[in-house]
Amino acid sequence: MIKRVFVDSSAWYALRDEDDANHASAQETLPLLLSERPGLITSNHVIGESYTLIRSSLGHASAFSFLRHIQESPRLERLFTPEEFEKDAYLFLHKYQDQTFSFVDATSFVWMKKLGLTEVFTFDNHFAVAGFLLLPTIKPGT
């Protein structure tokens, strides 16, 4: 069975920002994932975080274009985080208070565990710390 891949805001941002250190890697990775996987998954929290990052760094036009592409993509499943998952994220953040996970990270971890996903398109090493496989593979501590 071919696995689906969760997409994190660090990947969405790197795809948009040509000056981002991970831009080239993101540009190489996305077509490979689309050719090898049945689809990509992201959440409304990740979309919101990505929009905010893009808007604050690249401006409204780029951020709104990102939203339009997300909405129109036939290969992307958008998940809407229920309150129950947010409560699980609170518990996760409390349990791992020694880590610098964001709330969006925690809700993403909950989604991935609930759906049985093991791989994530990201440049955020927090996902590796939480036990997920990063695509592309990045070095620990980056």
Which CATH number characterizes residue 73's domain? 3.40.50.1010
Whether residue 49 contacts residue 11, with contact meaning beta carbons closer than 8 Å, is answered with no
Q: Is pLDDT at 1 greater than 80 in this prediction?
A: no
* pLDDT above 90 (res 140): no
Could you tell me the sign of the dihedral formed by the alpha carbons of 132, 76, 50, 92, in that order?
negative
Whether this prediction's pTM lies above 0.85 is answered by yes
Tell me: pLDDT of 85 over 70.
yes
State the residue range of the domain holding 15: 5-135
- 141 part of a folded domain: no
Task: Give the whole-angstrom CA distance, residue 3 versus residue 123.
Answer: 19
Quickly state the pLDDT bin for 141 (edges 50, 70, 90).
Answer: very low
Identity of residue 123: F
Q: Assess if residue 140 is contained within a domain.
A: no
Higher pLDDT, 34 or 19: 19
Q: Give the chain's domain count.
A: 1
Peptide linkage before 31 cis (omega within 30 of 0): no
**Cα angle 135, 138, 142; round to 5:** 130
